[in-house]
Chains A and B, each alone.
Chain A
Amino acid sequence: MSEVILSVRNLTASVDGAPILKGVNLEIKAGEVHAIMGRNGSGKSTLSKAIAGHPDYEVTGGEIIYKGENILEKEPNERALDGIFLAFQYPIEIPGVSNLDFLRVAYNAKRKHQGLEEVDAFDFEDLVEEKLEIVKMKSSFLERSLNEGFSGGEKKRNEILQMALLDPTLTILDEIDSGLDIDALKIVAEGVNQLKTPDKAYLVITHYQRLLNYIEPDFVHVMQDGRIITSGGKELALELESRGYDFLDEQALAEVGA
């Protein structure tokens, strides 16, 4: 049986004192791709930020067990170094920090954590050139300031480039498809698929079923009002697509009726 990578138990979390997550349960094993779908405001992004350790998202109850260890007390950078990677819905623009420098600092932080020697600027450039092909980016991207003036597609590809370099165990893709045209979406999805190995786990958060045609999930969960209300295989995503999120309300009513 595969190893459990992530286990979320009865997780509740608040932002600015307002409860957003109201008891989330989720278990992801190595080699599995899980998708979480749901309306805007259902708590999908909050779940991803809580797993990554954003200080503004206050966990008020429950546990997040990563590779057998409760990580709630860990700093976001410690979680990252342990192999959790969050691809942001809105990657931050940082003027004045070159993309290449940032990638090298992040890569070396990881090397240092693993007890490996840091890589100098020249060797790193060779390494990153290789990875650029995964996301079909030109090397001119590296000289620009981190995400500054990048198009939506470029930002998301840059996230996947970081993922390729940092080689995480658990990858959370937070609405990586939002606002992307179909060409950019294919590049991003193909990048993710190329990096997929059986010892890794994926949590794909999306509003739209379309992404799941390219990154095929083993399990689909639907979030509503801070809880996972139903789970199934990939056919659940298709059903959501054809019937819309409203059918969840009907289902909820039906359950109450039953």
Chain B
Amino acid sequence: MEDALIARARAGDPAAERALYDAHVDRVYRLAFRFSGNDEQARDFTQDAFIRAFSRLSDFRGESQFSTWLHSIAVSVILNGMRKVKKLREREAPLDDAMMVGARRREAEPDLKTRLAAAIEALPEGYRTVFLLHDAEGYTHEEIGQVLGVQPGTSKAQLSRARAKLREALRAFAGEWAS
């Protein structure tokens, strides 16, 4: 069924493209939002991923599932997009810090959820990607390996290191889950 859609989409059939889009858009958008935490960026990443996928459909040889191939494009688009966003934030950060001088006040200690979000953001890109794909999106290590083009063992190792870093970052909250 999907093969037929892919063939039609490859021939330039817009209806087939729409059908493929409907079948996969939720997961791609969710993934994009998971990485960016921003609706606008998630939309951009999703649109870009589908446009690239449809443009390069002739490159899809059916050696893997279409979803895996599509998600590898999506992850690439998202990671590239996030790198740009990060650079932009780093450029703007000094200005923001300067504006906050004098206006900063002592805030309440962030809760575990907030601290976790900050810790995930602070993870190295490879660790964060595997952590979000596995723990947040439920990808298997095999799927992660296919999407990222790495061995499943590499994915497992990176997930383990990611968790260790998060544990360290959240040490202050250890008592809460120990009790």
A in complex with B: no
